[in-house]
Chain A
Amino acid sequence: MKERYLDDLKEIKTIMNRSSRPVSLSGYSGIATGITALVGVTAAHYYIFRYHDLKEVLPEDLPLHHMLLLLLIATGTLIIATAAAIFFTNRNNREERDRLWGVQARRLLTALLVPLVSGGLLCLILLFKGNISILPGLTLIFYGLGLISAGRFTQTEIRSLGFAEIVLGLLAVLIPAYSVVIWALGFGILHIIYGFMVQWNTKA
């Protein structure tokens, strides 16, 4: 009799865990994203930002070919980083044969994309009619918000990553002269550290 109820409790626990199991993000995807971002920021610095005083860059200061190049670099980096994240995450979850990965992954994507897309559109508007110097900070802040809202559906470390991105984003807006460096720090270095932390934790 007791045995049976003990099994019942075990069953309850397994079902609860399996039905709400977070999507498991791979640490490699963090590392890949970080490296892609570093390449992107370096390219942006080399081709565009080193010609401008970063304290205050207005859209009219930025020649059209620079603006288009910046958009191209940003979009390219975003696409490559997303592709890498999806590739590694997919592999991770196929290995675990998680039948529910679809449901949870969809929730994760919605949670991530709402702040990210609204922030992205705002940045696009500001690129054409605002102060470009605050863009690195804003992208970091909105990305951090996206991560925090997505954190419910995956490893909790991602929430800490989100908070760190927001802090860096605010810092970048505060000291625009260093915003590109902070940008590289947030999207590049932080992702790589996060990737190693996750990978190391899963192994342990």
Chain B
Amino acid sequence: MKEVLKNLDKAFENRIRLGIMSALVVNDHVDFNTLKALLGVTDGNLASHLKFLEKCNYINIKKEFLNRKPHTRYYSTKGGESAFRRHIHAIEKLLE
């Protein structure tokens, strides 16, 4: 049991961060507005959770300009994907 709990990732204890990661692992990239619509959260809320995941090196950010408007794309990193997988395995173990 203790072993399992250790594999649960603090970064994914939060629903919104879990949602962000779920969207990023099944897509090549997702942009800010799509994430916002998908999760139904406010700009500020989403931005702070994205920053958290970026600090963990779980996601990458690519900023560019589309028609002079900033357009930010988010990618999951290899490390982020394996952490996410570990987290899901831990949940599954816990539920057995």
Question: Residues of A with Cβ closer than 8 Å to B?
Answer: 2, 5-6, 8-9, 11-12, 15-16, 18-20, 99-100, 103
Contacts and interface: CB of A to CB of B under 8 A. Distances in A.
Given A100-B34, A100-B38, A103-B34, A19 B22 contact: yes
A118 to B, nearest CB: 23
Contacts of A103: 34
Nearest to A104: B27
A174 to B, nearest CB: 39
B11 interface: no
Contacts, number: 46
Nearest to B31: A103
A100 B35 CA distance: 10
Interface string B24-43: 01110010001001110000
Given A8-B15, A8-B91, A11-B19, A20 B26 contact: yes
A160 B7 CA distance: 42
B94 A19 contact: no
Given A11-B18, A12-B88, 14 more contacts: A9-B91, A9-B92, A9-B95, A11-B15, A11-B22, A12-B18, A12-B19, A12-B22, A16-B22, A16-B23, A19-B22, A19-B23, A19-B30, A20-B26
Contact of B23 (A2, A15, A99): A15
Main secondary structure of the interface of A (DSSP, over half): helix
Main secondary structure of the interface of B (DSSP, over half): helix
Nearest to A103: B34
Given A12-B18, A19-B30, A103-B34, A5 B95 contact: yes
A20 B28 CA distance: 10
A36 to B, nearest CB: 34
Contacts of B30: 19
Contacts of B37: 99-100
A12 B20 CA distance: 9
Contacts of A8: 15, 18, 91
A48 to B, nearest CB: 45
B91 A5 contact: yes
